[in-house]
């Protein structure tokens, strides 16, 4: 059943198109501009040979879609999955366009996909695939600091991004800003602190903003704030793990259920996340975790009692088939497209609050933007700000000391004036971005009398992309 659902990914493209058309009905933009906003500007479908570990040759199929050139460069992750196809890649690229517009990141949307199974492929094979894919993108001018900037996605991470930048800099060695050709890199290769947890942390900040909205919580019959709320997480990759981690440690919520590919677990009194991760590392599975109930059908975990459900795995996990059985009052879309249009209709009719992916998982691209800026500038953000702030604070405190006639101990003085490091700057900017986006979507929903947050988020993004086309005089 799962394999069949994953193989039929065209429905994801149809869902994105459905959401776009539904929101566009509320727009006053000319039809032609709306058609341009929806259109994918360019796609590249490639096949290339890669040597396997045993010496045989495998032909790998891969894709890259650049959805919108209203802002450059385009930006979007690279997904390694045996189910990836062109329709899915285009759908994800379009979501990136709208996501960037929604949170104020000045990129067009893009996405890449490579049809391999990263869970069974060796590291050597993945490296050869990644480097060849990069070379193919360079050949067709589908990558570059000012052209198209990839990032990690499902099945990829820092290691793959490191292989990409290494390949790029050895082919385009005389170009400036080489390290800005990709984001999500290791710190040793001019990555940025905070990128690894960025998407999951952004999910947490988005959920927290909603839970702090007293009017929304009153409608759901829930108390304001995150403390004590019960959470179920689907997927314990980077997004799912960090979402759960911050919900527990910062929000004081309880994670009561987890679903993974091998099955699911549930404990009404809450799970110890770090102990669970240790158990999984030792046994290779989340099952048989002490104090938790094993659930053979991983999809069934989504239907267990909770306040907040975070689907943080793949597309189409909540559909018309299971939406009526969901017990959560808040669906927080940590993944791209985890709820299809039929499922969403049922959830909204039941009064469930939907926090759409378009908004909620924008943390990754937000911090990727900071990394890209850092690489373009050639200097970290803390170096540009911290020393100046330290000197300013020191002068201010010395002035107060003179007025008071007392001197502060040097140790206390240093602790007080020390400027923020780069990670603190990045996390603070991410927190501000997510909180502002939630307020804008909420206010836009009320101002335009829109039926739900997803329609509002899509419409707000559509209007911003359309305005960009008009203001830049793109059309002859």
Give a three-class secondary structure readout of the chain: CHHHHHHCCHHHHHHHHHHHHHHHCCCCCCHHHHHHHHCCCEEEEEEEEEECCCCCEEEEEEEEEECCCCCCCEEEEEEECCCCCHHHHHHHHHHHHHHHHHHCCCCEEEEEEECCCCCCCCHHHHHHHHHHHHHHHHHCCCCECCCEEEEECCCCCHHHHHHHHHHHHHHCCCCCCHHHHCCCCCHHHCCCCCCCCHHHHHHHHHHHHHHCCHHHHHHHCCCCCCCCCEEEEECCCHHHHHHHHHHHHCCCCEEEEEEECCEEEECCCCCCHHHHHHHHHHHCCCCCCCCCEEECCHHHHHHCCCCEEEECCCCCCECCCCHHHCCCCEEECCCCCCECHHHHHHHHHCCCEEECHHHHCCHHHHHHHHHHHHHHHCCCHHHHHHHHHHHHHHHHHHHHHHHHCCCCCHHHHHHHHCCCCHHHHHHHHHHHHHHHHHHHHHHHHHHCCCCCHHHHHHHHHHHHHHHHHHHCCCCC
Asked if residues 312 and 334 have their Cβ atoms less than 8 Å apart, the reply is yes
Closest CA to 26 of 468, 451, 340: 451
Structure tokens at 242: 């960090």
Mark whether 111 is an active-site residue.
yes
Active-site option among 111, 229, 329, 374: 111
Instruction: Catalogue the active-site residues.
Output: 111
């Amino acid at each position: 059943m799962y394999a069949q659902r994953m193989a039929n990914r065209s429905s994801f493209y149809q869902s994105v198109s459905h959401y776009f058309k539904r929101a566009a009905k509320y727009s006053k933009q000319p039809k032609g501009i709306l058609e341009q906003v929806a259109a994918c500007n360019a796609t590249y479908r490639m096949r290339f040979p890669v040597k396997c570990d045993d010496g045989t040759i495998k032909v790998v199929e891969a894709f890259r879609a650049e959805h919108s050139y209203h802002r450059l460069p385009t930006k979007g992750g690279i997904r390694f999955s045996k189910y990836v196809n062109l329709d899915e890649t285009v759908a994800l690229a379009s979501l990136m366009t709208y996501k960037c517009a929604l949170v104020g990141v000045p990129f067009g949307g893009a996405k890449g996909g490579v049809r391999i199974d990263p869970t069974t492929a060796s590291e050597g094979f993945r490296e050869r695939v990644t480097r060849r894919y990069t070379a193919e993108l360079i050949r067709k001018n589908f990558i570059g600091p000012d052209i198209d900037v990839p990032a990690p996605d499902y099945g990829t991470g820092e290691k793959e991004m490191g292989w990409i930048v290494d390949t790029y800099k050895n082919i385009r060695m005389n170009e400036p800003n080489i390290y800005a050709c990709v984001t999500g890199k290791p710190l040793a290769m001019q990555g940025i602190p905070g990128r690894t947890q960025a998407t999951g942390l952004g999910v947490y900040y988005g959920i927290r903003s909603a839970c702090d909205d007293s009017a929304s919580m009153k409608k759901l019959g829930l108390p304001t704030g995150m403390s004590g709320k019960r959470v179920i997480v689907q997927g314990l990759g980077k997004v799912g793990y960090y979402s759960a981690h911050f919900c527990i440690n910062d929000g004081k919520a309880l994670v009561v259920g987890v679903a993974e590919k091998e099955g699911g677990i549930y404990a009404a009194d809450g799970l110890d996340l770090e102990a669970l991760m240790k158990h999984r590392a030792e046994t290779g599975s989340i099952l048989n975790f002490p104090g938790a109930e094993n659930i053979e059908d991983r999809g069934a975990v989504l239907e267990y009692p909770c306040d907040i459900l975070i689907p943080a795995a793949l597309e189409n996990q909540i559909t018309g088939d299971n939406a009526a059985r969901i017990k959560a009052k808040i669906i927080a879309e940590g993944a791209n497209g985890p709820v299809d249009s039929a499922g969403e209709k049922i959830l909204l009719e039941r009064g469930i609050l939907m926090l759409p992916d378009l908004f909620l998982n924008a943390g990754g691209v937000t911090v990727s933007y900071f990394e890209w800026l850092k690489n373009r500038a050639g200097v970290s953000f803390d170096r540009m700000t911290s020393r100046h702030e330290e000197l300013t604070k020191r002068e201010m405190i010395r002035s107060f000391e003179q007025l008071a006639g007392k001197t502060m101990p040097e140790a206390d003085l240093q602790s007080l004036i020390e400027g923020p490091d780069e990670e603190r700057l990045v996390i603070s900017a991410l927190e501000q971005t997510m909180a502002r986006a939630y307020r804008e979507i909420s206010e836009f929903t009320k101002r335009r009398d829109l039926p739900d947050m997803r329609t509002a988020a899509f419409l707000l993004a559509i209007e911003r992309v359309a305005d960009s086309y008009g203001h830049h005089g793109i059309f002859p």
